Amino acid sequence: MPSGTVMKNTHQDWRTSTPSTLCVLLYVFLGSLSVVTICGNLLVIISIIYFKQLHTPTNSLILSLAVADLLVGVVLFPFSMEFSISSCVFSENLLCKIRESFDITLCPASILNLCCISIDRYYAVCHPLTYRTKINVHVVVIMIMVSWSVSLLLTIGLAMAGLHQDKCQEECSIDLQLAIILGLLCSFYLPVILMLCIYLKIFLVAQRQVRSIQGTKSGATASKMERKATKTLATVMGVFLMCWTPFCLCFSFQLLNHVLSWLARSNSMLNPFIYAFFYSWFRSAFRMIISRKIFQEFLQP
């Protein structure tokens, strides 16, 4: 009997032997993650779009990040929820390949948007006098387009490598592994190294600024606001590292990918709550949206 048939039969036996209660609990838990991810990122998106006070370069990058995280919750979570329970054997199913394509596109897009946010914070804290000229609307649009374009190129590249492997079977396995390694380098390791270097530089500059402006009240207030914004976004990165590092390290060694991939995706759920925790104006915007006060002006005659 072919090995694929054995694996398929084993997979079917596993599904039929799984208690229905366990399946229900898994669906409820993973479905709850999806709902929380969608609602949290929708709050961020509506807040930034609706409130003019939030129309800033930094928040434009946060908006792009929230869109990527929202798509993770809308598209990727349902696919992954189904396959986490029913399992994709060697990605033979078309839906499995669709899920992988979304995974390869959306997760790097989220990571690269975080990288762009760290660059924005670098200029805001380290070069405050030239920040508005360096980081303007056009630059932010370019950064967002580059983030999404690189993610799409990674998806296309890995898809082509996979199709090439299907044609030549085992002889192309090395090419596919190299493509995966390069994908990890471009979408995780290099952005992480860049962000760590940037935030370390920001920390050192912020410490010098604190010592130099202690005597000026206005300068201290402005510096405090920038440090708070940087602290918030550094926390976003810290949570990102906590969620993604185990998966990427283990993926590099082919260990525990399936379980740890859910921890990685949970980063998209946690980001909106970090904004709400640190930013008072995001909390106010969220309260207005949840209480439906923003719709009252449209309902008034």
CB atoms within 10 A of CB 278: 16
pLDDT at 91: 46
pLDDT at 39: 93
The answer as to whether 128 is a domain residue is yes
The answer as to whether 281 is a domain residue is yes
Q: What is the mean pLDDT of residues 60-81?
A: 87
Which pLDDT band holds residue 213 (cuts at 50, 70, 90)? low
The answer as to whether 137 is a domain residue is yes
- Find the domain containing 42 and state its range: 21-299
pLDDT at 223: 63
Q: What is the mean pLDDT of residues 130-135?
A: 90
CA distance 243 to 273: 15
Count of positions (residues) in the chain: 301
Q: What is the mean pLDDT of residues 264-270?
A: 84
Strand, coil or helix: what is 128? coil
Burial of 21 (0-12, 13-18, 19+ CB in 10 A): exposed
Q: Tens of pLDDT along 225-252?
A: 666 767 777 787 788 888 878 777 776 6
The answer as to whether 278 is a domain residue is yes
CA distance 19 to 85: 12
Given a cut of 90, whether residue 41 has pLDDT beyond it is yes
CB atoms within 10 A of CB 16: 7
Q: Tens of pLDDT along 94-131?
A: 667 777 778 778 888 888 898 898 899 899 888 888 99
pLDDT at 218: 59
Which pLDDT band holds residue 7 (cuts at 50, 70, 90)? very low
The answer as to whether 132 is a domain residue is yes
Choice among 31-35, 196-200, 236-240, 252-256 with the minimum mean pLDDT: 252-256
The answer as to whether 58 is a domain residue is yes
Q: For the domain that residue 44 is a member of, what is the CATH number? A: 1.20.1070.10
The answer as to whether 1 is a domain residue is no
The single-letter code of the amino acid at 22 is: L
Q: What 3 state SS string does 177-228 have?
A: HHHHHHHHHHHHHHHHHHHHHHHHHHHHHHHHHHHHCCCCHHHHHHHHHHHH
In the chain, the number of structural domains is 1
Which pLDDT band holds residue 176 (cuts at 50, 70, 90)? low
pLDDT at 293: 81
pLDDT at 220: 60
Given a cut of 60, whether residue 208 has pLDDT beyond it is yes
Given a cut of 50, whether residue 255 has pLDDT beyond it is no
Q: Across the chain, how many H-helices and E-strands are there?
A: 14, 0
CB atoms within 10 A of CB 209: 19
The answer as to whether 110 is a domain residue is yes
Given a cut of 70, whether residue 217 has pLDDT beyond it is no
Q: Tens of pLDDT along 8-25?
A: 444 444 444 444 677 778
pLDDT at 282: 85
